[in-house]
Copies of this chain bind each other. A is one copy, B any other.
């Protein structure tokens, strides 16, 4: 990924794109995703509707962008700081972060995400998945995780559960402690992965 020098035009374009993104996020946090329009976002960013669609595929694509940026954070910040506790503990901690990230995003946003048309969940998780997968493999080598389930399967299982929890939390409009519920559910599942 060589950073080619940007032409003036490209710089300008990038700035416009960011203006749109920022306007969208700000409006969204204030009024909720459903209650803002493309026209409104565009107006706030000082561009036309056409410009919005020049930079984003759809309204949902704003959500996707948020996720893309958040995934970056997850990979660079969370991953390196898991420490050297026993792997089952690390898995729990991993999902603590997952829960916190969802809380930070806000229920409003999470509710939008749980629409399978928005296929972040298969894409978005890529790096998170491989991170967790490595963790499990390590646990197996150390004898802290049973060897009779493949790391792929285990990851699959854990994420199915995690998304189930988040979805439920969204259903209940964020009215309970997501972290606690996540810990209880994942904890129970992890216990079946112990030797």
Which A residues are closer than 8 A to B by beta carbons? 111, 114-117, 119, 121-122, 156-157, 159-165, 167-168, 170-172, 184-185, 188-189, 191-192
Partner of A171, one of B119, B165, B188: B119
Which chain B residues lie closer than 8 Å to A122 at the CB level?
A: 171-172
A107's closest neighbor in chain B, by CB?
B116
Which chain B residues lie closer than 8 Å to A192 at the CB level?
A: 188-189, 191-192
Q: Are A164 and B160 in contact (CB under 8 A)?
A: yes
Partner of A116, one of B159, B160, B170, B191: B170
Number of copies: 2
Which chain B residues lie closer than 8 Å to A157 at the CB level?
A: 184-185, 188
A163's closest neighbor in chain B, by CB?
B164
A159 to B159, CA, bound (A): 15
Q: List 18 additional contacts besides A161-B161, A192-B192; criterion CB under 8 Å.
A: A122-B172, A157-B184, A157-B185, A159-B168, A160-B164, A160-B165, A160-B167, A160-B168, A160-B185, A161-B185, A162-B164, A163-B164, A164-B164, A164-B167, A167-B167, A189-B189, A189-B192, A191-B192
A81 to B167, CA, bound (A): 31
Which chain B residues lie closer than 8 Å to A160 at the CB level?
A: 161, 164-165, 167-168, 185
Which chain B residues lie closer than 8 Å to A184 at the CB level?
A: 157
A138 to B172, CA, bound (A): 28
